Amino acid sequence: MLITQYSQNFLKRLKLIRRKKQEYRVRDSNEKPTARNERGLAMYSPTLVVTP
């Protein structure tokens, strides 16, 4: 019983963390390009140099 209860709490915590990450990703996409639009990052950021 204790083990299943612990694992359920752990899963709940994982879901919360995942949700927070998604919120952060959405918030972050307004200022900084995230993994989803990395092609845009290659175009706009001066730090990334694309060599032929």
What's the pLDDT tens digit per position in 1-52? Answer: 566 777 888 888 878 777 766 665 555 555 554 555 455 555 554 555 555 5
Domain assignment present for residue 51? The answer is no
Domain assignment present for residue 42? The answer is no
Total tally of structural domains belonging to the chain: 1
Domain interval for residue 13: 2-34
* HEC profile of 1-52: CHHHHHHHHHHHHHHHHHHHHHHHHHHHHHHCCCHHHHHHHHHHCCCCCCCC
Give the pLDDT of residue 14.
Answer: 78
Give the pLDDT of residue 12.
Answer: 83
Give the pLDDT of residue 36.
Answer: 52
Q: Is the pTM of this model over 0.85?
A: no
